[in-house]
Each structure stands twice: as C-alpha cells, then as structure tokens.
Structure 1
Amino acid sequence: MNIAVRSLASLLFLGCMATITLSPVVAAEPSEDVASTPNDAARQLSKLIRKAANEASPGLVTVYALRGPRMTTPWRLRAAAGRHHTSPASFQRQTASSIDLSSDDQGSGLVLDASGCILTCSHVVSGANAVFVRTADGQQLHAAKVSCDPVTDLAVIHVDAAEQLTPVQFGDSDAVEIGDWVVSLASPYDLDQSISAGIVTTAGRWVSSCPYPLIQNDAATNPGSSGGALLNLNGKVIGLIIGGYSTRGEFQGIGLAIPINAAKDIIQQLRIQGYVQRGYFGFDTQQISPEMASLLKLSNSDGLYVTDVMQASPAHQAGMLEGDVLTTFDGHRIDESFDPQSFTADLTPSKKHIFTVNRGKEAVEIEVELQLSLPPAINPRVTPEQPSKESFEFFDSQLGIGLNRIDKVLARELDLPFGTKGALVTHVAMDSIAYREGIAAGMVITRINDHSIDSVTTYRQTIASRTPAQPTMLLLQSNQGKHLMMLKIKEPRNVNGLKLNQTE
C-alpha cells in the first residue's frame, strides 16, 4: 500500500503509550485450575489476553481517509504563497481554503460481515474525498459507500471485497463491570494489529455531547486507535474505541469506547438505509446533581432538568418550559438507570407520549407528539476548483495527474536533490488512481517500469503503448526521498469531468 504523503491526524485525543504488536502465535487454552502463585496468575492472564486478541484480529482493518488536494509540503507552501510553477501555460493557483482543509486521517475499523461492511468512527471518515481500508491479510479495498452518523460518532464503510472477510463477534456490553479486564485491538500510528490491555474503570461514563454513557478504561488509546475494538477476555467486541481523554495532548490513562449494545441499532440503520432516523421532541436536558436537587428543593437527584425548549417544537407546542424537571416518561421513572435514548426509541410517527414534570411545587403531566427528524445532509467534501487540461504540458487521464517540466530553480524550491530530472506532478485529480495511491503535487516521476524519465516528453513516449491490463510501476522523487509504487488500471470512468481510470 502506497501512501507517499500521509498525515496522521489527531482523531479525538492524543496519547503517548507503548502498545504491543500482535504476533500470529496461537495461544494455548488457559488452565481451569486456580493459579497457585502470582506468577501463575500473570501467565494465565497473559494467555487470556493473547487468546482474545487472536480471536478478533482477523476482523480488524486499518482505515485511511483522504481529504483535499494531494501536495507535498514544499508544494503546499508554494501554493499558500500564491506562486506559479514554471510552465509554458498558465497554472491556476490553489486557494488558501483548499490548503487549510487538506488533511489525511488514519484510524481503525471492524469487519461486520463477510461481504464487506466495516464499522468505524464518523470522525475518521466524514467528509473524506476517498476512503480505503487495509485488511489483516494485506488486501487494500476502496470504499464504495460511506455512511456516517456524527451524533453518535459511528460510521459504516461498504467495500467490494473479492474474497470473503472475517467478521468480529459482538459481546454483551451490558454485562461489563468495573474492574473487568479488557483488551484494545487497533492500529495506532498506522501500526496494525496492536493490542493493549487494561481494566474497566467506569462502566457508564457520561461525557458532554455524547448521547449514551461510555465504557471508560485504562487500555492505551493513541492516534489511529479510533474505530478499533474494545474486547472482553473471550475475544468479543464490547465497545468501539472513540479515543481517550486528555488535558495535555497525551494519553493519561483514560480511554473511552461506545458500548456495542448501544450502537447496534445505529449500525443497522447505517447499513440498510445509510442514515439514522430519529424522533424529535425539541428539548434538551441535563442530569441533576445532589447540590442542584437541594437548591431546587427536590427530594432526590432523580429526574432530568430541561435546559432548553426549541421554538415551535413539539415540546414547545405542548407547553414544556425551561426549568421543568422531568420525573417520568410514559409511566417509567426517570432515575440513574434511565437511558435518555428511550425518549425517541419508539419511532411511531405522531405518537403521543406522556411526561410528568416538577414545576415549582406542582407535578404536571404534559402530552408531547413525537415527530421524525429529516435525514441528515451528506457531509461536504473538499472540492477545490479544478484546473483545465491546458494548464499542463500533459495530462495523464489514466492516472489522473497533470505534468509539467521541472528546472533547477523549481527543484530548489521543492527541496529536491540537485540535478533532479523527470516529469513534475503539478495536479492530482480527486478520486483518481494517483490520488488514492498517494501521488501528490510536487513529486517528480523519474522512472516508469524499466524506462528512465527525464522530461514530460519521455513520459508521454513511454506510456504510449500502455494498456489497461498492464501494471505500471512508478519511481517518484520527493523532498522526503524516493518512493516506488505499483498501479493496476481498470476500464476508464469519469471523475470531475475528466475521463479517468480505476485501480484494482
């Protein structure tokens, strides 16, 4: 897999903690006997951790999300400064907004079924121009469809897999208790098949803006871990890793995962219809602390405080007010065990639900009609203005790259070795073969298969006899060294108005 220009984005939270790279060693079955010494207990725990990781590892994938124009750092700096490259034709400069938006993310994902459904986090793939995954056995698969739900930070990637994939198995996250040993399985820093172990430190941690309580644990969470699996010792997925919590930009022993039971319905909707249908009442709430309950003269801290009621919403029309305290919902008491998702779990349109609220010294019943929310808008992608073919000495429509000559001055600005010759890449079309494989503006093609390239002219001559069935091997020079990549071309298709080809 070739990613010549990659930036590992900080997905949710940064961290710095050692991880263990999983080896293919098959663990022996742990003894049923109680360990007689502390060393025996440690060895038994190691076997359980190893067995759990080996059980789930075939279902882990590494996820790559490509955003914005693909440029080497020196080329990006030139574009930010508004410079033109030296070519006979005028070149349309990149806008500052397209530069600021450019970002590549790497995360983790879990195979849901053999046909190619993959679960990951919404923040890893939302708004990406191209998404692909690398499986445990090294297959590189491009996403045919990506469905995101930013509210829950869940996403489902659909890939076309030539071979059947191995799915993970779900466990019961409701059975998780404080002190349980857990194993994180992910690809932090693009180090696939990495594991870390820890314990559950809080089984139901409420975090601001998250619609359900999370599993807090101390297994290491680093950039690239998002979308990975939190496993029980049976190798079953009990949570989807979304990141860690930190105040200093480094891992501080607090990892967070979405309970898999809470995610199941969302996952199913994303798989089937591509978006999540939600009920809408039109109010926001917050839990009540004992201090708040005392101030409000409540008998206990049960219930939810209404912090906002949206204008013209069903709740507003029914008479709900800011400052109300919700105490029951359809006859069910709202206490510490109540899940606020229950408010909109029943998606029967126009169904009326009964809330009991404390308003001052009175208990008031309010009947609110549920409305269904509209499907969310598709996440916008970075779409910078495309230069015309006249901007290049040559546009390779099969690979999706614009090429121009390079001279000594430009080579120096791009921090290339003295005397670099070849065909300079000055544009990479979105969602082209070159874009997905990591070719970036500012690179120089110096060799194609066994032919040396010293100019755009020799590039054109060399590819004149190229056929779609013939693999193409490119040697590219950038400011970071030389990069070798192999491309396979399929039949042509249209991308951004230009006739482009697909890669296998």
Structure 2
Amino acid sequence: MQRSQARVIARSQTPSFDPRLILGAVLATLMALALVVSSLPARAQTGALPDFADLVDQVGDAVVNITTSSVVAGRAGGPQPQVPDGSPLEDFFEDFLDRQGPDGAPRRSQALGSGFVISEDGYLVTNNHVIEGADEIMIEFRDGTELVAELIGTDPTTDIALLKVENDAPLPFVEFGVSADHRVGEWVMVMGNPLGQGFSVSVGVISAFGRSLQGSYDDFIQTDAAINQGNSGGPLFNLEGDVIGVNTAILSPTGGSIGIGFAMSSDVVTNVVAQLREFGETRRGWLGVRIQDVDEAMAEAMDLEEARGAMVTDVPTGPALDAGVEVGDVILSFDGRDISDTRELVRIVGESNVGETVRVLVFRDGATETLRVTLGRRETAEAADAAPEGSDTTPDVAPTSEILGMSLAPLTDELREQLNAQNVSGGLVIQELDPVSEAAEMGLRVGDIITEVTQQSVENVAEFQTLVQAARDAGQQSILLLIRRDGNPRFMALAIDGGN
C-alpha cells in the first residue's frame, strides 16, 4: 500500500502543460533557427559537402583519354652497358636492349594524357606537351569509342593544343566558364587519365589564382584536387560543369600529387583556342617595348604617386616607337585598363588584336600623356629578333672618377665592343664598386653602363655629379639610373643621402 502511494505521488509531481504555451515556444524556436540559417552561406545551409555524382554524369562523356605515338631513333652503335656475367642486372639490361630494337633501328614510343571536347563537331583541347612530336593521336571516350585526332594548332607559350576528330553523330561537349568569376576556397573537380588508369575523378578547392610558373602569359589556378601525370590537358570544372582551367602541371618532389596542382586559367585559354581554331596559330598583339616593374624607390625618384605600372627601358623599332613612346615612360593604363605591373601589361597586350589602335596612358616628366599605338604581331617580331649574346669579359681599365661608391669611366670604343654595347653612344662604365656601398646593395655590377641619370643622358662624370647634386638640392632621397648590362636596359633607383 505504501509502495502504491509513492508511485502516485511521483506522477503527481509532474507539472501540468498548457498546449498554447508549448505551441508558442515551438514557433519562437523555429523563427530563431530560420534567422540563423538564413545568415549562413548557401552551401553551409545544406549541412553537407556537395555531391559530385550528378556533375560527373553531366560532363563525363566530354572528357577523353589521349594516347599519342611517335617514332624515335633506336640506340646507336657504340659502347653498350657492361655488367659482369651472372650479375642480377644482366637480364634487366638484355631485356631493355631487346625492347630498344637492333642497333640503329627506330622504335615507336607512346605517351598518355587527357583532353576534353568543346564543340559537337569534334574540336578538343589538351596540352601541347601531351601531343608534341606525335605522328598519331588517338582519342578514347568514356564509352570506349576511339577516334583518330587531327592536330589543328598549338601554342607552346601557354602549353595549349587544339585537336579535331570526325564523327557521324554530334559529340557531347563542355563549355568554358570565366575563371575570374570564382573565389579562393570554392569547390572544383578534376577529370582525366591519371597514370594511364583511365577515366578518373578527383575533387578539391581553388587554392590560389594568378600563379606564374615560367611563361610570359602564365595565369594558373592552383588547386589541391589531385592532379597526376596523365591528367595533363584535362579539364578543371566548377560546380556548374563549366571548364575554368586546363590541368597542366604539379609541384612535387616525388612526381606524384601532393596537393599543389596548376591549371591554366580559362580566361587565357579561351582566347588562345579561338585563335588556333580560326588561324591554326596564335596572333598576339605586340607593343614593341622592353619594360620593368616600378618599385617604391623608383616611384619616389620620379614623383610617381604609387609604385605601379610598367617602366619602359628600351624602345626598338616598332609600334611604340612610331607612337612616340620614350625610354623612361611609365605605362599606367592600356586600352582603358589600369596596369599594375609588367606581367599584367604583357598579358593584356597579348590578348589584343593585331592591327588594333589603342590608347596608352604614360607618366612622363611628372605628368600623364595619352598616346595612340597601332599594335603589331608578337610572333612576327620574335621571329625577326635575334638577341645579342652577352660578354663576361672584364672591361679594360680607363681613367676613372669615384662617386657614390662607384669608379666611373666614359664608354670608349674598346669598352663598347667588350660590353656588347655597339648601339650605345654615350654613358659611363662602372670600373670598380665598393662592396658595402648603396650601389652594390641595389644590384649594380662592374661592367654596367650608366646611360641616364634622372632620365637625362650622361657622357662624362661631371654631368653625372651635376645631376646628382641637383637631385640633392631638390630634396630627393634617390635618383633614377638607366643602365645597360649585356645589351639589355634596366632602370634602378640609387639612394643619394650623404656625401659623394
């Protein structure tokens, strides 16, 4: 009886509920949760990583494996590897040489890569290094279909190649997106033929934009999605199924993926592909100047508000010379687009049309000036240009004067020959250099020829000293020098605080 009463008391201690209070509390909680969720990024609201399966089905049929073959020379006669009889390496070398074929006999070599179709009539994109030197290019689709491809054109500068296959039915294809529309941290997907394993998918995020490896037109997207040998030439997709990069290279001490891969930006590739498709070659705009970046010291020496733009160090015969561009000009904008550095200018000019007339804003003598330049063709200019080779010969000793830690002498005919300066009519040669001077610290060397000081020509040390003193009197902390080294011009800013 006592145990039964205890149970009744326990139940009676549970408070009674008003249904209206419960409903109000639930509604308030739901409203608060809705406010929190609405403040999250769209993908965070799903509470899960994206599912790439549908994306693979959407674009996979347009991605291809590429097999190339070429005939290479067999081993020539002459000394062959020598190994002791009975050595474990004996069988290895015999098998290797058998595969090489008899002495002097050519053999066929194969290589693997990836690519993707960009039009229903059979145009494909891959890397130039995938098909370079090939005499046969075979394309394999995901369903096993194989077609022979024709090479339409290549651009070694950006490592892009355009191929074409013929097929009775329209082919599945993918389109290029705009890589500039994306941000670091967004999801991307790699598809291709890594290590010859066939159709394969890997995913990751955009790690960085604007990476440069070694080319003038480099604009790589860095990603941690796995890219390995064989992925070269394959697509880097965004979540909408657009190609925003062409997988090209990896950074790795082992030869395999360590999460640092590079895809050439679609913003570069689309222009290259359009030219290859129309002309079978690239036709880049050419301004016709040598340029260098502007650093803080140079900007201060010129009274330029900020260290940006591309400073002109030489104006050979060409479009820029015809338009009135001068050595010492700083190009601030090209065709209405602001220029931050030399790399940006090179890329923008290269994307411009040959024969197009553009406006170029330059900074000259403390003011800006607009010039109109009709662009030439870079490929034509490069073919005609033979850069002179430098000379390591130590210049002959000439009468010198010392200033700012440098021993300077006028440029003589003998020095001109030794220093590869046949086209330099004046200037001062650095004969000796104090290793602890500002001049040495900034990178000047023995044998450099100083042709301009504060953008004025100099032919003797007296003129040099006069210009330095004038800069000091004007309160400048540094002066701008134009030097020539191995035939190449370059501006440098030299600090002038303190005596001679």
Above 0.5 in TM-score? yes
Matching of residue 64 in structure 1 with residue 67 in structure 2: yes
The verdict on how the C-alpha distance between 1:128 and 1:360 changes in structure 2, with shifts beyond 3 A counting, is farther
Q: Secondary structure at the match of 1:335?
A: coil
1:158 aligns to what?
164
Aligned-partner Cα distance in 2 for 1:246–1:290 = 35
Aligned-partner Cα distance in 2 for 1:307–1:287 = 10
Aligned-partner Cα distance in 2 for 1:123–1:295 = 45
Q: If the length of structure 2 is used for normalisation, what is the TM-score?
A: 0.56
The verdict on how the C-alpha distance between 1:237 and 1:353 changes in structure 2, with shifts beyond 3 A counting, is closer
Unaligned runs of 5+ in 2: 1-36, 82-100, 383-500
Residue 147 of structure 1, aligned match among 147, 153, 160: 153
2:23 aligns to what?
none
Q: Secondary structure at the match of 1:68?
A: strand
**Residue pair 1:112, 1:167 contacting (<8 A) in 2 also:** yes
Tell me which moved more, 248-257 or 140-149: 248-257
1:51 aligns to what?
54
Deviation (angstroms), 1:184: 0.9
Tell me which moved more, 246-255 or 235-244: 246-255
The verdict on how the C-alpha distance between 1:216 and 1:191 changes in structure 2, with shifts beyond 3 A counting, is same
Aligned-partner Cα distance in 2 for 1:247–1:296 = 44
Matching of residue 315 in structure 1 with residue 325 in structure 2: no
Deviations 1:445-466 (A, max 9, x none): xxxxxxxxxxxxxxxxxxxxxx
More helix by percentage:
2
2:361 aligns to what?
356
Matching of residue 182 in structure 1 with residue 188 in structure 2: yes
Aligned-partner Cα distance in 1 for 2:198–2:222 = 23
Structural mapping, 1:298-313, within 5 Å: 298-306=304-312, 309=315, 311-313=316-318
Structural mapping, 1:25-424, within 5 Å: 44-47=48-51, 49-69=52-72, 76-77=74-75, 94=104, 104-246=110-252, 249-288=255-294, 293=299, 298-306=304-312, 309=315, 311-318=316-323, 320-321=325-326, 324-335=329-340, 340-347=346-353, 349=355, 351-359=356-364, 361=366, 363=368, 365-373=370-378
Deviation (angstroms), 1:59: 0.7
Aligned-partner Cα distance in 2 for 1:360–1:249 = 52
Aligned-partner Cα distance in 2 for 1:80–1:113 = 51
The verdict on how the C-alpha distance between 1:193 and 1:293 changes in structure 2, with shifts beyond 3 A counting, is farther
Q: Which residue identity lines up with residue 265 of structure 1 in the other structure?
A: N
Tell me which moved more, 194-203 or 275-284: 275-284
Unaligned runs of 5+ in 1: 1-32, 71-75, 84-90, 378-504
**Residue pair 1:328, 1:356 contacting (<8 A) in 2 also:** yes
The verdict on how the C-alpha distance between 1:283 and 1:208 changes in structure 2, with shifts beyond 3 A counting, is farther
Aligned-partner Cα distance in 1 for 2:205–2:294 = 28
Aligned-partner Cα distance in 2 for 1:253–1:57 = 23
Q: Which residue identity lines up with residue 200 of structure 1 in the other structure?
A: I
Aligned-partner Cα distance in 2 for 1:142–1:328 = 46
Deviation (angstroms), 1:149: 1.4
Tell me which moved more, 104-113 or 242-251: 242-251
Deviation (angstroms), 1:172: 3.0
Q: If the length of structure 1 is used for normalisation, what is the TM-score?
A: 0.55
The verdict on how the C-alpha distance between 1:300 and 1:246 changes in structure 2, with shifts beyond 3 A counting, is farther
State the identity as a percent: 28
Deviations 1:294-333 (A, max 9, x none): 6766432321234654x42323454545554211224543
- The structure showing larger relative contact order (alpha-carbon pairs under 8 Å, at least 6 residues apart) is 1
